[in-house]
Chain A
């Protein structure tokens, strides 16, 4: 691959990096500079595009749809309204964020990154923690920067650092010890994870979210903990 081909692909889709691009990147400092510049640009574009979503948008959509169902009676409409307001108030009170619904694994399928992350945490993480291997902190820092995340200076310690399988290849697998308990953070730089979603499976909750240049998955024992840890990482 030459510089022209590399840049053509990079400008069309910076996140879809091919092995040919990776090889070229390793041997061409000029294109490496361009790639870094594009990472910066992509992060800024992503952040700027995330305009705030109106509160309780989904509830309003559902309310309108229900009022259009002809067989629905007035009391059902009233109940929907109460439910919508209640749901809105609940989300506002608990998290102030109604963007992601809680789904069950069957809805997404076992291959979804969030569902697969829960399976990995439950089935493999205990053994990995016992083995106590440690990855490269520099790689972790680089991945965090790419995703616009940071570990808080206090209250969080890294218990394990390694690699784990994700649908697009490998991710950075980090186990954090926090005041809220043990939390798993999986960083997937350079590969989008699809839309933001939370899922509950095997008594664990996972949040998969796109971020600047890639995405991340948080796995904890409750939705509340997932959201609180996410706020700490922002």
Chain B
């Protein structure tokens, strides 16, 4: 019984630790905190293992645990998240670097976490809008709105905007 549980747990750790790390990183933008969050997520998952009734739901379950752990951590450390910051201001303030990935990472970091989170879940995690809604505990419509706003903001990135202008000329 215990061996089966341990074996399943190990499989889950090996299958999902990398993607959970990236999700955590984009939630907190700190590599050390991200690893701590992944560690805490699996610790809590192990403790609550008996509550997992459907193996197929394990992935979403882990994302939800990580999300809760992050909320707990940020509450403990009293880290502030300014979600009210205007997207347009953030984009205009971003600096265009010579390296595309770096430029895009800066821009993604500048997105309020409420917009960045569903984008990471969709682009990296491959989750549908309905799955993201369940993980974030918001409506599917709200997820679609946030994703739309996030992409509209990212479209203003200098390189992307230049391409659009060139095409329209």
Contact = CB atoms under 8 A, between A and B. Distances in A.
Interface in A60-111: 60-62, 64-65, 68, 98-101, 103, 107
Contacts of A196: 18-19
Nearest to B109: A48
B17 interface: yes
A57 B15 CA distance: 11
- Interface of chain B: mostly helix, strand, loop or mixed: helix
Given A41-B154, A192-B126, A54 B31 contact: yes
Interface residues of A, number: 45
A31 interface: no
B139 to A, nearest CB: 13
Contacts of A234: none
Nearest to B147: A12
Interface string B23-44: 0011000010001001100110
B19 A195 contact: yes
A37 B163 contact: yes
Interface in B109-154: 119-120, 122-126, 128-129, 143-144, 147-148, 151-152, 154
B58 to A, nearest CB: 11
Interface string A1-34: 0000000100111111000000000000000010
Contacts of B120: 49
A60 B108 contact: no
B144 to A, nearest CB: 4
A46 B123 contact: yes
B15 A40 contact: no
B46 A101 contact: no
Contacts of A40: 160, 163
Interface of B: 9-11, 13-19, 21-22, 25-26, 31, 35, 38-39, 42-43, 46, 59, 100-101, 104-105, 108, 119-120, 122-126, 128-129, 143-144, 147-148, 151-152, 154-155, 157, 160, 163-164, 167
12 contacts: A12-B129, A13-B122, A13-B147, A49-B120, A49-B123, A53-B18, A57-B21, A62-B13, A65-B42, A65-B46, A103-B11, A195-B19
Given A41-B154, A60-B35, 15 more contacts: A13-B144, A14-B151, A16-B129, A37-B155, A37-B163, A37-B164, A50-B124, A54-B35, A58-B14, A65-B42, A65-B43, A100-B18, A194-B126, A210-B124, A215-B126
